[in-house]
Structure 1
Amino acid sequence: MTITIKTDFTNEEEIKKSRFICHLKRISNEEEARDFIAQVKKENRTANHNCMAYTVGLRQEIQRTSDDGEPSGTAGVPMLEILKKKEITNVCAVVTRYFGGIKLGAGGLIRAYAGAVNHAVEAVGLVQFVEQTELILKLEYGLFDQLQRFIDTQKLTISETEFLADVTVSVFVDEAKIETFLSELTEAFSGKITAQKGQEQTVEIDYIEN
């Protein structure tokens, strides 16, 4: 399962007169991350710091951080830890800091940078990518209404219907749920509906943290 942010997002908060602006962007490779970081730095060239963390890959195989002048380990790594803890990948986080004159100390900086990313992620929300396979169902006309009700109870949607000598219905089912769906379909219709696999697709759905 791949989890990432719903969309690009910016969130700002103030901590002891310092402004912390968290910029989040969905990325697919390191080049996009570097371009985004450069863009944020250009737009915030007068900021004291533009710290960053990003992860790329199905299992966060690529991880990079930068403290951008803050004391070592007080910015980039805490930001990355939020992404790792939430298992978020293919996202770049840049936290811009405009210093307000009050020093936060190492512990305060860690909490501020981690909090900036955490609050931004919570505000924008997460999505997950699910692999689905098309199931092509063939049935007699007399079973069509019953099949529609069955598919509704499965919380699925018919993607295509064709009426010829028989009825052909296409529905996309999560890979992990195909076996159960086919078993329940066979039981509900006493094997009167045939099914074969068609194309595959990846869909984006809301992710709810446990």
Structure 2
Amino acid sequence: MRAPLPVPARAVRTETVVERSRFLTTLEPVDDDAALDAVLARVRREFPGARHHCTASVLGEDGERRRSSDDGEPAGTAGAPMLAALRGAGVTGVVAVVTRWFGGVLLGTGGLVRAYGGAVSGALAEAGVVPRRHVELVEVRTGPGGGGRVEAALRREHALEDVTWTGTGWRAVVPVAAGEVEAFRARLAGAGLEVPTAVLGRAVRPA
């Protein structure tokens, strides 16, 4: 199974100046179209006097959902090189908005392509990326008397999700590397933790 694409480690804002034109790049991790549209709307409100707000985004586990916009720049000179920079970096779950203030000097087609693509590449380098992996989500349950011991043992090796204490017991979801559920159960048994487990499904998590 191929590993899922990495995502940006953090949101960044970077700036470059080319022939007196100012290029401000806002690059952020996003999960869906609504989130990326919200980023663009926020940037437009923040800089209403800018001449262009060009965008590129990649979404989906395999980066299959892609969007770009030249926002008034000559066709193919802004959104396409921005998207090429994102795809070249092999990332997903990301939106880049490059806000441009014209500096009075025409950059030409090649100059615009280099400026917009370079702006996104620079922002990606500053943001860094987080590798990810496929996991199976394993539910672990126990009675009210054993939850503390089980939780302490699991936290030594795993990140726990949806930890819940109720009057009838303790429950948590454990992301286990794909294909290693039986080994996980064997480790529990070997540690004397004979507790019910169930695979809830698959997901993608940071590696």
**How does the TM-score come out when normalised to structure 1?**
0.67
User: Would you say 1:102 and 2:128 are equivalent positions?
Assistant: no
Deviation at 1:88, TM superposition (A): 1.8
Output aligned runs, 1:61-210, within 5 Å. Answer: 61-130=64-133, 131-134=135-138, 174-176=176-178, 178=180, 198=198, 204-205=205-206
CA distance in 1, matches of 2:63, 2:160: 34
Aligned match of 2:29: 26
CA distance in 2, matches of 1:45, 1:158: 43
Find out whether 1:49 has 2:52 as its counterpart.
yes
* 1:20-66 superposed Cα distances (whole Å, 9 cap, x missing partner): 11101222222222222122112111112110011222222321111
Contact in 2 for aligned 1:12/1:22 (Cα 8 Å): yes
Shift of 1:133: 4.6
State, as a whole percentage, how many aligned pairs show the same letter. Answer: 32
Amino acid at match of 2:106: K
- Per the alignment, in what secondary structure is the counterpart of residue 180 of structure 2? helix
Secondary structure of the residue aligned to 1:79 is: helix
RMSD: 3.9
Confirm or deny: 8 A CA contact 1:5 1:26 kept in the other structure.
yes
Q: Please tell me whether Structure 1 or Structure 2 has the larger radius of gyration of its CA atoms.
A: 1
Number of equivalenced pairs? 189
Q: State the distance in 2 between where 1:9 and 1:28 align.
A: 16
Unpaired runs of 5+ in structure 1? 137-147, 161-169
**Unmatched runs of 5 consecutive residues or more in structure 2:** 141-152, 164-171
The AA in structure 1 aligned to 2:65 is I
1:121 shift after superposition: 1.0
| Closer/same/farther in 2, CA of residues 173 and 57 from structure 1, 3 Å limit | closer
Q: Does the aligned pair in 1 maintain the 2:15–2:24 contact within 8 Å?
A: yes
Match of 2:14 among 11, 16, 32: 11
Inter-partner Cα distance in structure 1 for 2:173 and 2:32: 32
Q: Separation in 2 of the partners of 1:157 and 1:77?
A: 39
Distance 1:39 1:135 in 2: 39
Distance 2:108 2:29 in 1: 31
Give the letter for the 1:41 counterpart.
Answer: R
